[in-house]
Amino acid sequence: MARNIRVDKILDVKGLSCPGPTVLTMKALEGMKKGRVLQVIANDTSAVIAIPSLCRNTGYELLEFREEEGTLYFFIKS
């Protein structure tokens, strides 16, 4: 069950394949104030590995990940 996370910005990258979702996620995070939350919506299965890796390597915090009917949801704190 998802936590109640306040989202400041939504990035819908459904239909894009790697590295598109990761690159756009990074650009979105770089443009956000520290402490804000980005929700990324994707359907490329490589994002399951790439986006958490991006967070680990850049210091952004992956608050939550979930999958619902083939759609991937990432909640990332900038």
Indicate whether 32 belongs to any domain.
yes
Task: Using DSSP bridges, classify how beta strands 61-68 and 71-77 pair: parallel, antiparallel or unpaired.
Answer: antiparallel
Domain count, the chain: 1
Indicate whether 38 belongs to any domain.
yes
Indicate whether 57 belongs to any domain.
yes
Indicate whether 2 belongs to any domain.
no
pTM of the shown model: 0.93
The predicted pLDDT at position 4 comes to 85
Q: Nearest to residue 38, comparing CAs of 4, 68, 66, 74? A: 74
Annotated active-site residue 55? The verdict is no
36-76 pLDDT tens trace: 999 999 999 999 999 999 999 999 999 999 999 999 999 99
Indicate whether 48 belongs to any domain.
yes
pLDDT at 18 over 70: yes
Indicate whether 3 belongs to any domain.
no
The predicted pLDDT at position 23 comes to 96
Task: From the candidates 11, 16, 18, 32, give the one annotated as an active-site residue.
Answer: 18
pLDDT at 1 over 70: no
The predicted pLDDT at position 2 comes to 53
CATH of the domain at 65: 3.30.110.40
Structural domain that includes position 18: 9-77
